[in-house]
Chains A and B, each alone.
Chain A
Amino acid sequence: MRISRHFTQEMARTLIWIASFSTLAVMFWILYQVLREGLPLLHLSFFLKPPREMGRAGGIASTIIGTLALTIVAIVIATPLGVGTAIFLREYTREGRISRVIRFGTDCLAGVPSIIFGLFGFVFFVIFLGMGWSILSGGLTLTAMILPTIICTAEEAIKSIPYTYREVSYGLGGTRWQTIRRVVLPNAFPGILTGVLLGVGRCVGETAAVILTAGSSFLMPDSLFSPIRTMAVHFYILAREGISMEMAYATGAALIILILIINTVANLLLFRYVQKG
């Protein structure tokens, strides 16, 4: 029997609807679970006070600072490195041995599980370079972890810029760097920002690599060499060691709110940027 075209059309549509709605449903279910348990515990003091009694009481102020410090260090180092590599691959070399080696390297990095980055960071930054468990060790480890993402998205963004733009810029007497700075980078900015945001997401959510390299101290950090505990690690320890499920959920809710804030700010930035251009 032949299946009618109309029927296959309907089938495809239904399946696609189911796929997208189950994705949404899973996301909302997780959000609902965490927020239902966590939101009632979120008071202003929870954000402003450091943890007490191993996290059974008090707030999460120091872990918020820890999360932000670690993420900022990683992003500040990884963004110029990653974007620079992408520019090199796209504008300064032709497809050849060097670019193949770099691509192979980033592909390998992208496939490495985060715990391996943690182990590397522990051996290299914490022990060998003597940085100890610190924001710097953790930040550098996370840099290595998110570099492939940033390189890859930046390269895609640069690749999507029409060749004619470059031709025009060179034709008007532009040097290579002038062309990159005035035509390539501004047009690649939205794509680069997407890659950076993905990196932020991974930094904020990472636990294994962070515990091994930045420690798990919830004292307020006072320098780049202080150990810290991020919100994700705090959540993990509270839940894993059965210290307080309530506080774990509250931390989870705060973490979700933090990510929402970061994404909203980035989108506003992007919107204003696109409006201007």
Chain B
Amino acid sequence: MQDPFKIVIQDFEFYYGSVMALRDLNLSIRPHQIFAVLGPARSGKTTLLKSLNRLTDLLHGTNHKGQIFIDGREIYGEEVSLPELRRRVGMVFDLPTALPLSIYENVAYGPRLKGMREKSRLDEIVATSLQAAVLWDEVKDRLPSSALRLSGGQQQRLCIARMLALEPEIIMLDEPCSGLDPISTASIEKSLMTLKEKYTILLVPHNIQQASRVADRVGFFLGGEMIEEGSADQIFTRPQNKKTEDYISGRFG
């Protein structure tokens, strides 16, 4: 029987030096759902995302306890290839981070690292990725021009396209709409709804309304601890924990 969960996190803790950023986390995430990681600033949301593709490894003096499994395989295991893991678990950061390359080369960056050289295949991936990120129509005539000339919203969608070009299984979006106008936000949210048919999505929403619009399940984080986890419906209408209720109703955060 197939494991119903894509990601299983067991007794996970994460430290930056002596500062604990995630505490005693147990969480399982099903495939083809949008899981919203909700919580105020400094509650461990970004740390959770970066632990899942081990981008936290880039920092010195970090430490973790516990285990994270993706498809039943421990990602902190000895034999895990980091480039391979990061291709399977794509990430988009909270600020648009276009590389100083052309639009085309930004999207082709991941496939090229994997060793793909064939021009027609790359063209195809670039086109489908940009279409999936709802950016194609705006940039199809100027793929060779610099990505830094795009607007913030376009750059953010470029980052999503760049991640999709990896053909990942899990996609993680860390406040992908912070600093975006309502129209770009709507188009990103629209594309999320189609993307979840193919991927498992972790989203740090940039506000509670966004979480309620797109999420299937929600985890509420506070001070590195997951206070409550449940279906979006339940969390937003009948939160079990007083802190969750306070946060949802806007009493803090």
Within 8 A of B (CB), among A163-216: 164-175, 178, 182-183, 187
Q: Is A242 an interface residue (CB 8 A)?
A: no
Binds A, one of B92-100, B181-189, B196-204: B92-100
Task: Select which of B58, B101, B162 is within 8 A of A166 by beta carbon.
Answer: B58
- Grouping DSSP codes into helix (H, G, I), strand (E, B) and loop, the A interface class, with mixed when no group exceeds half, is helix
Residues of B within 8 Å of A165, CB to CB, are: 97, 99-100
Within 8 A of B (CB), among A74-121: 94
Contact indicator B162/A172 (Cβ below 8 Å)? yes
Contact indicator A94/B146 (Cβ below 8 Å)? no
What residue of chain A has the Cβ atom nearest to residue B60's Cβ? A94
Residues of A within 8 Å of B110, CB to CB, are: 172-173
In angstroms, how far is the closest chain B Cβ from the Cβ of A170? 6
Contact indicator B114/A167 (Cβ below 8 Å)? no
Interface flags, B81-113, vs A, CB<8A=1, else 0: 011101100110101010111000000011011
Contact indicator B83/A174 (Cβ below 8 Å)? yes
Residues of B within 8 Å of A167, CB to CB, are: 55, 58, 93, 97
Tell me the bound Cα distance from A173 to B116 in angstroms: 13
Tell me the bound Cα distance from A61 to B18 in angstroms: 67
In angstroms, how far is the closest chain A Cβ from the Cβ of B201? 16
Task: Select which of A94, A173, A277 is within 8 A of B101 by beta carbon.
Answer: A277
Q: How many residues of A contact B (CB 8 A)?
A: 18
Interface flags, A211-227, vs B, CB<8A=1, else 0: 00000000000000000
In angstroms, how far is the closest chain A Cβ from the Cβ of B37? 17
Task: Select which of B87, B90, B146, B163 is within 8 A of A277 by beta carbon.
Answer: B146
Residues of A within 8 Å of B97, CB to CB, are: 164-165, 167-168
Contact indicator B113/A171 (Cβ below 8 Å)? no
Residues of B within 8 Å of A178, CB to CB, are: 113
In angstroms, how far is the closest chain A Cβ from the Cβ of B46? 11
Residues of B within 8 Å of A187, CB to CB, are: 100
Q: Is B129 an interface residue (CB 8 A)?
A: no
Residues of B within 8 Å of A183, CB to CB, are: 99
Contact indicator B58/A168 (Cβ below 8 Å)? no
A interface residue numbers (CB < 8 A to B): 94, 164-175, 178, 182-183, 187, 277
What are 23 A-B residue pairs whose CB atoms fall within 8 Å in the complex?
Answer: A165-B97, A165-B100, A167-B58, A168-B93, A168-B97, A168-B99, A168-B159, A169-B99, A169-B113, A170-B55, A171-B86, A171-B90, A171-B91, A172-B90, A172-B109, A172-B163, A173-B83, A173-B110, A173-B114, A173-B166, A175-B113, A182-B113, A277-B100
B interface residue numbers (CB < 8 A to A): 53, 55, 58, 60, 82-84, 86-87, 90-91, 93, 95, 97, 99-101, 109-110, 112-114, 146, 159, 162-163, 166
